[in-house]
Structure 1
Amino acid sequence: MPGERKHGGHGRHDHGGGHGSTVKTSKRPSSSGKKRTTTQEDKEAELIASVQSVNESNENSRENEEMVARENLKNNVSTNESENIDSGNDREKVAEDEKTETEVGHSSPEVQIKDEGAENRWAEKSKEEEGFNIRSFNDNILEFTEIFDSDRYRHVDENYPVEDLVSVVADISRTIEEFKQQTQNSQQQLEGLRMKMKQVKENIQFSVSRKAFDIRTDDDLQSIEERELTEKLAKLNAEIAKANSDLSEALRLSAETESTAVRAQIAAERAKEEAKRIEEEVEWRAQQEERRKREEAKKMEELRRQREEEARKEEEEKKAKDAEWKRREATGAERTAEWENWPAHELQLSSSGGLACIIRGKPNSFDESSVTCKEIDQLDIELTYGPQEELVGTIIKLVPTSEKLKLQSPIYVAIPFTISRASGHSREAFVRADVNGEWREIPSTEVTYDNHKDLKFVQVELKDCLTLAVMTRLKRDYVTFSKRPSKMASSCDHRITLTVCRDTFYRKEHILLQVQPVDSATVHDLQARNGNCKHLLASSPILLVQWESTELHKPIVVTIPCPPNPAKARKIAQMRRIKEEKMKNPQKVIPVPMDLREKEENAGKQNKAKPKKKTLQEQLAEINAPPEEEKPKPTKWYMGDYAHNDDDENDLLYLLARTGTGKWSVVPEVEIVQVKLDLLQFTLERPFEQFMVLRVRTNTEEDSLPVMSTAIHDLLQKRFVQAVIKQRSDNSFDTRLELAPINRVTKLLKRMNEDGFEDGPEPSQIIGVCEGDIIEINFRGNIQNSSSDKCPRFVFNSNVPSFLEFYLSEVDQYLQRNFSVFRGVVELYRTYYVTADKKAVTRKEAVVDENSFCVRREKKKTLLCEIPITIPKYHVEPSPVPLQAPVVIRNDSDPVNDDLMRHLAADMGDEWRKVAMTLNISRARIQAILRNTQISDSTDEDARYHMLITWLKKMPKSIDKVTVLTNAFMKNGRPDLAEQVRIKDEAFRRNITQTV
């Protein structure tokens, strides 16, 4: 037994010495210092090596765990042996306890060595017993941290090492899993150790207590043994407390290690997620870059196509312009064309039966039955209108009779059109054709036919069947300038000229000139409509010039007409009228005798100052001079405006030009010379596409001039019309609506009366629309369109009849019961499209904006006017006349009876409503009386009688009716009726007295 106990102590001593020997183990130098001098590749290699060393340490840790388990088993065996000591051998137990105390005393240095080397044993083991090294693990963590701090993994780009990152993250995860497993094993072993130590403590306490109880039986040895046992117990408690503190520290370290492992695992998971996110971000950026490259390539391809299309269009326009120039310059020199001898085939419109077109074709290759003509509704197509363009004919479509039929040779189609004489002076006709969905102008010429002298025709050459529309525009003048000096005159007005000096252009310059007339009626209308144009006196025509050059090497002299100042024009006209009257009625010269002539000469010689002969202006001033008391006051100035004088002969002239953005501006430093009364001349230093001259008052501010020019330009774009709605006389539901210019409304009303549309409201107020605007009709009130199309539409054209016929009906037959007709309102809306100016969009914006390749058209809708209209109630039976119960007055004790009511109703006038209000009769009852009078055959006298009866029925018998009625008549200005009531009352009272 003692040998075994000693053997057990020696084992513990050997075990402690074994642990203490770990203090002498040399520590492995840290690798963090080496990382400062190694390259990135060395770091990755050392990281892989450290991961392998950790794996090897995990294998060695298993052997250490087995050794710890064997030592725990030996300790348990020795503990059990100590518990089985015989309680009778007390002295031997005391000796053994003293020996144990000695062994404990000898082992205390080992415990100290163990405590001192606990951290080192926990930190690392010898190379022979190395399993898991915590310092190596920490060094590996530092290495991983330094790897992620490198620029290779921090900056994400296209060359990001995703695969290397994945492998590093996998190594980190594996290392953390091993560390976590080792930590769990250590915690389990520490828990087992603590349980064993607890059992040892309980056994020792039980043994000591039992022996202390046995020792107390001996009185001699009780005190000494008790003190010895107490001392041993205190020492054992101290050792156990120290062991418990070491165990608690080990558990704390284990918990910290476990938390570190958990944090490391969380960091690894986050690193995995970050790596995955970085990989997805790199992939997404790659996709975005690829998509951007595809879109950029597509955009560049679209831009290239657009440029090619623009170049092609410019080339086509150039060719067409050259051909047009040649054709225009060769006009009048053409020989007799071959097609004039071909037979002419007339095609009729199927709807109206009028002439659609005249076709000439080669006799052997074209037949009249090979082509048919069809009328096209303008709402079914998208016909585009340019500035100042008008539709003057029916839109027709040539359709071959057979799909396989093709024109073997060109045909010549002449389309009739209508144009007024005033418009024909400044406008010309041309043809637009629908070519592959795009409306283009095709070459055309005006022709005449002997059998249709009342019509004008425009002829085109076609090689295929197309949709054609005849339109008019401002006359164009095509001129080619060279280096030589030349002069160009407008065919619209020969007073408009452009004089070019030598070397103004270095190459041939094609110029296209158009003239937009501005008459005095337009100026007067503008002065009446726009308050900003009250200082405008006159305006020249607007010149539209298309230049090929962007600059002029020498100035161009422009001559343009402009009406004179109205005050000066009136004065000159009056002077001419006086001169003409003098020429028509010359004064008779009476011969003077010689003696009287001599006397006059002598008297003249005596006068020193002879009076001057008065000029024609002075004579005109004397004639127009008012009497002395009626002479006007001198002109007063107030805030830059004239006080009351409008006849100012002074004025100012300004040249205004329109830029590419569509804004008008004053051209500075331009000297405008008045060559004649209505003719101006100035020089152009640079080419302007649109320009005009304004004559204004001297007190006009320069900032208001662009506003005037814009107002004139906008006014010329509009057409002022009136909407006329008429209903058929025999059927008021059949309605026609037509828009016509204000100067044609009278003729339109006459024509509509001839067609049977005589009833209906008056024409609407003057409204402004543009050519090609879509007019949409809406209905409001108890009126609607009976057809399926609830909002009928039509297109306005000033030269083509713009009308619409529809059939009206009521919305609800039970509404508006108080009226004899159904009432409603017809609303006219203007629908138009606004297209952005091409010149306003720069090339830079066209490249940036993807949608700038196609021209966007914005649809707008504005209300023009509202016209009230009614339809009769033919299908609704009128309400029957209400039967009124007869009123019988049975009171004979009052002078107010039926005879008096009849007499007063006959004598009253329009004041009966005021009398009714005085008699406290409600407005509703008055309205009911009036309604019953309208729907029946009653008269106004019956209405007044019913009013008096209503008052009489609600009056109590005790009220003095005579006084009430008399006061009502006196209050409303009828004392005569009040006197009649008073006389009637006196007569009634007198008769009663006589009877009594």
Structure 2
Amino acid sequence: MHDDQCSQCIVRSPSNTKLIPLNITFLNVSETENLLDNQEELISTPIQVKFESQENNQDYILFSIPYIIKRSNHRENIIKIRQPNGIWISTETNESMFDAHKEKRFVECKLSQSTACAVVSRLRLDTILINKKSSGRFTSNADSRVTLQWPKDVSQTNIRINLRVQPVDLPAFTQFSENFSHESEGLLGVGPIIDLDCDDITLLKPIQFKLPILLPTKKNEGSMKSSGIDSQRTVTNQTTQDIILQQQQSIFKSMLGEDSNNDRLILLYCNQNENTWHIDTNVSITDTKTHDIVTTDLKCLHPRMIIARCDKQLTSTKKIQTAIKLLEQSLSQRSVSLMVRRRLSNVNEICFVCCSSQRTNTVNDDLQQENYTNDDEQFKELTLQEGQLLELRFRGNVLPNDYHQQSYSFAFNTNFPYYFQTNVSQTDKYSQHFSPFFYGFVQIFSKQKVLRAVPKETDKKKQQTETLKQEWHDVDVCLAELVVRLPKPTEETGIPTTKTLPTFTVEGIITPALFRDISASLHGDEWRWLARRLGMTRIRIEAIEHDHHDDASYYMLFAWFKRVPRSTDKVSLLINALVNINRWDLAQDLQAIKDEKRQEQKTSSKDDQLRSFYVPFNRICQRDECIRIWKQIARELMLTNDDIEHIERQYPSKEERCLRSLEHWASNNAQADITNLARIMRSLGFKSLARELDNMA
């Protein structure tokens, strides 16, 4: 299904180099965490290359790696290698072709030592060299519409600028406007994001930039006056072809001089190591008649900048800054599809796929060819970062057969769908008995940083609380959960004949139903071993087997129950006997039933005790003077400050707080009775109330 994604690498060496043994393996996913930078995409399988480097360190190998994506004008393909400190850096990369593999594309680099490497697609890097003594002009290789022009003596020193152009095409901007319709209101178009990497220099003269910009999309007045829901429907139903047609009409009208000039141009910039966009108010931007190219003169080179076209009626510039920040984030995010399918020929075999939403149809075709069903498919969509590390986990009643580890790590990649095929089975065949399916879940987790408040040490004598300290913590966040359905087997089973087994009077937790469950869980000769541990003779065991055959185990327990004196702790004897025959599971279940029964009896006794206090408690809570000092009463009843604070948070009225304090005392104090309650109320000055309580006692 996806084996052809990883083609073979080609290794060459100079003619005078000695034979070098090589070991080439795929790199573990966890080791690719820092591989991709912003706007980079992985287009090959990460590879670990190991070989013995020579002592003189002059020998090298030429390592060619195939990649799977075509070169575009605004992107370039380079090989990144991992340094010993774990940092990935780009190395000198060349395109290479081989006669035996003309249908594949390769990039090649020199390796002089063992390392990990991968092919990455990134924004094309243009290098501009400006001579201070002469004027010049530069046209970007990524986009010929991006030009720089500078005069003579533009600076005191020569300038070297690294330029990257991140395009913002019409479909991406349209999708952004639909997803953030409120935040992008008033934003009519943008140009590409320009990255400038140069030394901190002072320009003596401005440098002229010519940049492309998207044409403004005009909206109908009727839709602008309609409600927000109708406006959303208009934007959603408007196709890309309609927008292109509007832009062509806008160009034609502007050439005829029919431009309404209801928009303005703004230059926004972002400094290094900063995530905030600012507006440069010291520049003037000139628009062309066709509105698709703008010109500006810059006296200061910003590390990152973009030109935006916005509505003149928009008064808040902060809204444009927020919109550009969201646009930048959306350009680095990818729409991801998650799906779980079941194979038709083997219902226990499932396939989980994580792929780019653009590849959903292709993946669907692959799964159909592999005989996976489309019926009742599980499908979800997420938004992820390129190269984001994820964890695949399972929970519920349907788990993989070899599920020994808690998670399976993988990284999202636009060009490489992630497939996980496994055989699953149910963990408990008796659960979910009302459904024709067993159910489990596939979960997708990711590490995210969360700001949490860490309490500082506080002085109890101080009345005011100190400010909490904020710290970042890495936590596992569940991004999505998909249901796994395993059909139950449809085996025909005969209708069992109803057998009448003897019953007896229930004694504690020992009931006929309990004996039936235990006897059904005993296999083979286990019931005989249990009978021996319970003190039965061999002759008695053989007689029971001869008389009752299939129901011998139940009749054995019945006979033992009748023989043991009523005063004996039968449950403990049965638990010890089950432990002696190594049926720990049955012994634990029996002990759990016993503990649950004891807890019920304990709870019942507490409820009875609270009922006995019903009248005294209500008499106290009917007095306003008692309600007003409920905290003082609670402290006399030996309630802690935490208990009092908890009651105060949970119940709004003072009357209910007073009642809950009394109930807490009665439930948690072994010496709680009406006489002690009367003594406490007398010490608080309620003498007449204390006499009433004494009469109740």
Q: Which TM-score band (shorter chain)?
A: 0.5 to 0.7
Query: What is the letter of the counterpart of residue 428 of structure 1?
Result: E
Query: What is the letter of the counterpart of residue 270 of structure 2?
Result: R
3-state SS, counterpart of residue 454 of structure 1: coil
Give 1:436's match in structure 2, choosing from 81, 84, 103. 84
Give 2:295's match in structure 1, choosing from 668, 681, 691. 681
2:13: which partner in 1? Answer: 361
1:669: which partner in 2? Answer: 282
Give 1:527's match in structure 2, choosing from 153, 171, 177. 177
Q: Distance in 2 between matches of 1:670 and 1:537?
A: 20
Q: Indicate the structure whose relative CO is greater, using CA pairs within 8 Å and at least 6 residues apart.
A: 2
1:743: which partner in 2? Answer: 358
Q: Which moved more, 1:373-382 or 1:565-574?
A: 565-574
Offset, 1:655: 0.9
Q: What is the RMSD computed on CA atoms of the aligned residues?
A: 3.3
Q: Which moved more, 1:358-367 or 1:391-400?
A: 358-367
CA 404–832 in structure 1, closer or farther in 2 if over 3 Å, else same: farther
Q: Distance in 2 between matches of 1:414 and 1:576?
A: 47
2:426: which partner in 1? Answer: 810
Alignment of 1:253-268 (within 5 A): none
Offset, 1:825: 2.8
CA 432–577 in structure 1, closer or farther in 2 if over 3 Å, else same: closer
Larger-Rg structure: 1
**Preserved CA contact (<8 Å) 1:499 1:558:** yes
Offset, 1:760: 6.0
CA 723–572 in structure 1, closer or farther in 2 if over 3 Å, else same: closer
1:427 matched to 2:42? The reply is no
**Preserved CA contact (<8 Å) 2:378 2:483:** no
Query: What is the letter of the counterpart of residue 332 of structure 2?
Result: Q
Q: Distance in 2 between matches of 1:771 and 1:708?
A: 22
Query: What is the letter of the counterpart of residue 377 of structure 2?
Result: E
Offset, 1:572: 6.7
CA 617–740 in structure 1, closer or farther in 2 if over 3 Å, else same: same
Structure 2 length-normalised TM: 0.59
CA 575–648 in structure 1, closer or farther in 2 if over 3 Å, else same: closer
**Preserved CA contact (<8 Å) 1:773 1:831:** no
**Preserved CA contact (<8 Å) 1:431 1:471:** yes
Q: Distance in 1 between matches of 2:256 and 2:279?
A: 38
**Preserved CA contact (<8 Å) 2:6 2:45:** no
1:103: which partner in 2? Answer: none
**Preserved CA contact (<8 Å) 2:450 2:475:** yes
1:755: which partner in 2? Answer: 370
CA 688–403 in structure 1, closer or farther in 2 if over 3 Å, else same: closer
Q: Distance in 2 between matches of 1:730 and 1:527?
A: 45
Alignment of 1:74-223 (within 5 A): none
Q: Distance in 2 between matches of 1:827 and 1:536?
A: 38
**Preserved CA contact (<8 Å) 1:760 1:869:** no
**Preserved CA contact (<8 Å) 1:729 1:759:** no
3-state SS, counterpart of residue 756 of structure 1: coil
Q: Distance in 2 between matches of 1:649 and 1:671?
A: 16
3-state SS, counterpart of residue 870 of structure 1: strand
Deviation string, structure 1 residues 254-282 (Cα, Å, up to 9, x no partner): xxxxxxxxxxxxxxxxxxxxxxxxxxxxx
CA 763–784 in structure 1, closer or farther in 2 if over 3 Å, else same: closer
Q: Distance in 1 between matches of 2:163 and 2:472?
A: 28
**Preserved CA contact (<8 Å) 1:773 1:832:** no
Give 1:458's match in structure 2, choosing from 103, 107, 124. 107
1:537: which partner in 2? Answer: 188
CA 469–773 in structure 1, closer or farther in 2 if over 3 Å, else same: same
1:798: which partner in 2? Answer: 414
1:481 matched to 2:97? The reply is no
Alignment of 1:442-591 (within 5 A): 442-483=91-132, 484-530=134-180, 531-567=182-218, 570=245, 573-574=248-249
3-state SS, counterpart of residue 829 of structure 1: strand
1:183: which partner in 2? Answer: none
Query: What is the letter of the counterpart of residue 731 of structure 1?
Result: N
CA 649–617 in structure 1, closer or farther in 2 if over 3 Å, else same: closer
CA 763–708 in structure 1, closer or farther in 2 if over 3 Å, else same: farther
Deviation string, structure 1 residues 201-242 (Cα, Å, up to 9, x no partner): xxxxxxxxxxxxxxxxxxxxxxxxxxxxxxxxxxxxxxxxxx
Q: Distance in 2 between matches of 1:706 and 1:419?
A: 34
Deviation string, structure 1 residues 239-258 (Cα, Å, up to 9, x no partner): xxxxxxxxxxxxxxxxxxxx
3-state SS, counterpart of residue 711 of structure 1: helix
CA 503–407 in structure 1, closer or farther in 2 if over 3 Å, else same: closer
1:715: which partner in 2? Answer: 330
CA 772–704 in structure 1, closer or farther in 2 if over 3 Å, else same: same
CA 572–707 in structure 1, closer or farther in 2 if over 3 Å, else same: closer
**Preserved CA contact (<8 Å) 1:653 1:672:** yes
Query: What is the letter of the counterpart of residue 423 of structure 2?
Result: Y
Q: Distance in 1 between matches of 2:137 and 2:474?
A: 44
Q: Distance in 1 between matches of 2:450 and 2:68?
A: 28
**Preserved CA contact (<8 Å) 1:816 1:822:** yes
Give 1:822's match in structure 2, choosing from 415, 438, 443. 438
Q: Distance in 2 between matches of 1:447 and 1:834?
A: 45
Offset, 1:649: 6.5
**Preserved CA contact (<8 Å) 1:780 1:825:** yes
**Preserved CA contact (<8 Å) 1:774 1:794:** yes
Q: Distance in 2 between matches of 1:554 and 1:469?
A: 43
Alignment of 1:287-436 (within 5 A): 355-367=7-19, 370-380=21-31, 382-400=33-51, 409-420=59-70, 424-436=72-84
Offset, 1:420: 3.9
3-state SS, counterpart of residue 367 of structure 2: helix
**Preserved CA contact (<8 Å) 2:74 2:123:** yes
Q: Distance in 2 between matches of 1:817 and 1:554?
A: 81
Aligned residues: 445
1:778 matched to 2:453? The reply is no
Offset, 1:495: 0.8
2:591: which partner in 1? Answer: none
Q: Distance in 2 between matches of 1:360 and 1:498?
A: 41
Q: Distance in 2 between matches of 1:370 and 1:405?
A: 15
**Preserved CA contact (<8 Å) 2:79 2:118:** yes
Offset, 1:763: 5.4
CA 783–359 in structure 1, closer or farther in 2 if over 3 Å, else same: same
Structure with higher strand content: 2
2:319: which partner in 1? Answer: 704
Offset, 1:765: 3.5
Unaligned runs of 5+ in 2: 220-243, 452-470, 499-697
CA 363–667 in structure 1, closer or farther in 2 if over 3 Å, else same: same
Offset, 1:492: 0.8
Give 2:269's match in structure 1, choosing from 650, 657, 679. 657
Offset, 1:448: 2.2
